[in-house]
Structures are given as C-alpha cells and as structure tokens.
Amino acid sequence: MEDLNFRHATRQRAAGTRKLAVIGVVASGNLEVLAERVLPDSECLVEIRTAAAGFGEVWDAVIADFVKGYSPGGLRFSINDGGARPDTVSLRLAQAARLMEEDDQ
Amino acid sequence: MSASHTQRTTSSVELDRTASWYESSARTRVRLLLDPGSVVEFIGPEKREVSPHLKLFDLPEQFDDGIVVGLGRLDGSPVFVAAQEGNFMGGAFGEVHGAKLTGLLRAARDIGSVPVLILFDTGGVRLQEANAGELAIAEIMRAVIEARTAGVKVIGLIGGRAGCYGGGGLIAGCCSALAVSEQGRISVSGPEVIETNRGVEEFDSRDRALVWRTMGGKHRRLLGGAEVFVDDTVQDFREAALELLSSIRAFGIDTLKAEQSRLEDRLQRFGACPDAVDIWTAEGIPDAVSIPALPADQFIALADKVRRSSRDAR
C-alpha cells in the first residue's frame, strides 16, 4: 500500500451545502471516494491509500486536472483505491464533486 | 418544499425502483428500497471504522468495511436495515463488518418493535480475518435468535452478485423469512469449495446450470428455503419485504419444533434425489426440466401453486 496526499489552492468554493458523500467501491480496478466539506473555501485536499504503489506522478496529474476542472474549494477527498485506472479515478472524483453540489439532505 | 417538487421526487424514486437489485450497490439498494430520504446511517464511512486486519496483509480498506447499517422507514414504518457490499472482498464478514450487524440486531432486540431487513450479498467469512469473522457469524446468529425471541421480525433479502454463502447462509437460515431472486444463490459451501473437497464427480463448479438449479433462488423457493421469489428489481424486493412483514407469525419453541419437522420431512421425501430436477418432479411439478428457463412471472405463478413452506415453521 502507498499513501499519497495532494493539497491544492482553489479558485472558488464547491457549490451546494452537502456535508458528505461517498461513491464507488474498493474492488480490483475500482476505488471509493469519500468527500467531506471540512476545509477552508480556498483549499482542497486529496488523501489516497492505493494498492498500486509507484504511480504518484499519474495521481498528481489526475488530481491537478480534477481540481482545475471542478474547483472543489472546501472539500477533502479520501480515497481507498483498489488499483483503478486514471479514467476511473477521474470519473469517481467528478461523481463525488457532483454529489456535493446537491443541497444537504 | 413545494408540492410539485415532492411529486417529482416521488415519481423519480418509483422510476429508480425498476433498477436491477443484482447490479445495484449496497448503498443504492438501501436508498431505493426504503422511503426517500428516510435513512439514517450508523457508523457511516466518515467514521472510518475500518478493518484492523487488512493492513497487515497490505490490502486496501473500505471506510464502511463493506456494510451499511442504519434506521429508515418502509412504507412509513420504521425498519432497521443492513446491506452488504458484494463487490468489496465478496461482501465477506470481517470483524468490524460483523460487529456492525451484531450491534444493529442487539438494538432491535432491545427496542423490540422495529423489524430488521438484512440485504445479504456475501461469500461468507473474510479469510484474512478468519477467526474474528467466524466469531462474528456466531454472534450474529445468536443476535438474530435473541431479536426474534424478543418479538422482532428479521427478514433476509437475497439477490446480489456474491449470493449468500458460508456463514451468510447460516445467518439466513436463522431469519424469520427470506425473499430471493433467481440470481440470489443461497448455500453454505460454495460450488468451488464442494468440488475441491468432494471431487468434480460430486459437483462440477464450472457447470453454471448445475450451480443455479442447486443453489439459485428458484430451487430455494420450491424447496421452502425461501418464502418468496421475486424478480430482480428493487420494487419487487420492497413489495416482498412488506408482504413478509405483514405475514410473519410470533416466534417460539413451537416454531423451532415445526421447522425441525419440516426439515426432517424434506430429507425423508427428497434425500435420495440426485438432482434438483428430481426434487421438482417429486413435488409433482409437470415438465420440471423447463423451470430454470421460466421467466420470473411465470415461475412465480407456478410456485404459488406448489405448497408454500409451512407458516408455522422457521
């Protein structure tokens, strides 16, 4: 297992009021993303535990791309990864960000 | 919330309930099965109550350890719910996973009036935490019986990818009633386990037709192992849960005696049958070989004509 953390400054706060969302399952080639609204509006943190060690550069690029596209200010994303491909990671992050845009239930 | 918004939400949920139970995740099943917005999860993923064992094996954890437990409403009435995620480690029981279900059942026992729905999707005990998992199975079986003794109805809904195997099959056998879809296999030893231990002549695990007609939902319904057979949609499982909740009788020593005699009778009548088709034929079903290919609605009509398992048993 490898632990990776990426902290980014964000342009704006993530929309919506939802405090918490979880999407995906930890399985081979899949991952779960837990999103929590716990940070200052100008920050985003992505914490990863992955079964596939040695892909830090790919994660760095995928996360940077995600933050640029969604500006998820105020959100912490915690990821348990079962060796998902980068496109799956991007999809799950986008799904988590979209869920957080909903109003609190 | 405006009236039109409420209406839109309701119709969208009804539409979603046509979703396949088999294909849905544990969280989706819980969300769609129960009344919209009614579910409060206990020890949710944000608590990060993960397995203490998996890191020793350098394996990834899941924040909810593969099971969702909570309290919600079914057609307005409160129900406890537990749903296993069959895609995380085959829905297997580990220490935390099992403790969450045990705690839910004990809460139900103490309250006494709120039923429990268990959405099984499991291969059995998680091998990486075998001792803790086996203990969890024993604790859960005890907790099911204690809850039922306190007057709680415990219903199993089975139709997931992993089926309901190993200790999951034992727990299912302790429930007040089961609803199963064709995909929802119920057994203790899985096909590969039987083949490994007894040889391919005993059970060919690659013969999928054999697996389905021996362990699948149709056979379990006809044999009396499951009370209700349903089509593979969330709506069908919801209706089955409501039907079972309204029809289960009180539990006591007489129930167990009736169950014992039901099983003895079953063994006597079908013990010599080499295949499920022989059992169906012995049950008096015409053209028994056609059963595996029957669509769900036709099978339900046929099963309703075959005697249902005694309501006094279980």
CATH number for the domain spanning B121: value is: 3.90.226.10
CB pair distance less than 8 Å for B27 and A20: no
Q: Is B284 on the interface with A (CB under 8 A)?
A: no
| Cβ–Cβ below 8 Å for B61 and A22 | no
Q: Which residue has the higher pLDDT, B309 or A27?
A: A27
> Which one is the CATH code of A2-100: 3.30.230, 3.40.1350, 3.40.190, 3.30.300?
3.30.230
The residue ranges of DSSP E strands in A51-102, in sequence order, are 75-81
CA A44 to chain centroid: 9
* Angstrom distances, CA of residue A105 to CA of A18, B36, B38, B234: 7, 10, 10, 22
Give the 3-state secondary structure of residue B224: coil
Q: How far is it, in rounded angstroms, from Cα A71 to Cα A97?
A: 9
Question: How many independent structural domains does chain B possess?
Answer: 1
In this prediction, residues A15-20 reach a mean pLDDT of 94
User: CB B58 to CB A1 under 8 A?
Assistant: yes
- The β-bridge relationship of strands A20-24 and B40-42 is unpaired
Which pairing describes strands B116-120 and B77-84: parallel, antiparallel, or unpaired?
parallel
When CB atoms are compared, the residue of A51, A80, A82 closest to B63 is A80
**Whole-angstrom Cα distance, residue B49 to residue B67?**
11
Confidence of residue B6 (pLDDT cuts 50, 70, 90): very low
| pLDDT of the residue at B305 | 87
ipTM of predicted complex: 0.94
Q: Does the distance separating the beta carbons of B61 and A105 come in below 8 Å? A: no
Helix (H, G, I), strand (E, B) or coil at B274: coil
Task: Look at the alpha carbons of B13, B186, B189, B168 in this order and tell me if their dihedral is positive or negative.
Answer: positive
Tokens of A33: 């993303």
pLDDT interval class at A15 (50, 70, 90): very high
Residues 57-76 in A contacting B (C-alpha not used; CB under 8 Å): none
Q: Does residue B3 register a pLDDT over 80?
A: no
Q: Which structure tokens are listed for A48?
A: 């990863």
Query: CA triplet B190, B195, B200: central angle to 5 degrees?
Result: 145
- Beta bridge mates, B20: B233
Say how many residues make up chain A.
Answer: 105
Buried b (16+ CB within 10 A) or exposed e, B237-252: bbbbbebbbeebeebe
| Distance set, CA B54 to CA A33, B57, B61 (Å) | 19, 5, 7
A22 touches chain B (CB under 8 A): yes
Nearest chain A residue to B90 by CA: give it.
A27
B88·A51 Cβ contact <8 A: no
A-chain residues near B46 (CB < 8 A):
20, 34, 36
> Hey, is the C-beta of B1 within 8 angstroms of any chain A C-beta?
no
Assigned domain for B307 exists: no
Q: How far is B170 from chain A (nearest CA, A)?
A: 25
CB contact under 8 A, A34 and B63: yes
* Chain A residues with CB-CB distance to B63 below 8 A: 22, 32, 34, 78, 80
Residues B155 and B180: their CA atoms lie apart, in Å, by 11
pLDDT of residue B9: 53
Closest Cα of chain A to B61: distance in Å? 7
Tell whether A54 is within 8 A of chain B (Cβ): no
Q: Which residues of A touch B87 (CB under 8 A)?
A: 25, 27, 30
Helix (H, G, I), strand (E, B) or coil at A86: helix
Distance CA B280, CA B221 (A): 11
Answer whether B65 touches A (CB < 8 Å).
no
Q: Does A82 touch chain B (CB under 8 A)?
A: yes
Does position A103 have pLDDT exceeding 90, yes or no?
Answer: no
Domain-located, residue B98: yes
Q: How many Cβ atoms are within 10 Å of B6's Cβ, its own excluded?
A: 11
- In sequence order, what are the residues at sequence separation of 6 or more whose Cβ sits closer than 8 angstroms to the Cβ of residue B183? B21, B22, B159, B160, B161, B163, B216, B217, B232
**Distance between A64 CA and the closest CA of chain B, angstroms:** 24
CB-CB under 8 Å, A25 with B87: yes
Q: What residue numbers bound the domain in which B143 lies?
A: 19-252
Residue B310 is predicted with a pLDDT of: 57
User: B35 to each of B9, B236, B252, how far by Cα in Å?
Assistant: 11, 14, 31
Looking at the predicted structure, is the pLDDT value of residue A54 above 60?
A: yes
Interface test with A, best of B50, B53, B57, B62 (most A CBs within 10 A): B62
Average pLDDT over chain B, rounded to whole? 93
Which of A2, A3, A22 is best to mutate for the B interface (most B CBs within 10 A)?
A22
Quote the pLDDT of residue A102: 87
Confidence band for B175, pLDDT divided at 50, 70 and 90: very high
Which range among A45-49, B134-138, B267-271, B309-313 shows the weakest confidence by mean pLDDT?
Answer: B309-313
Distance CA B208, CA B309 (A): 27
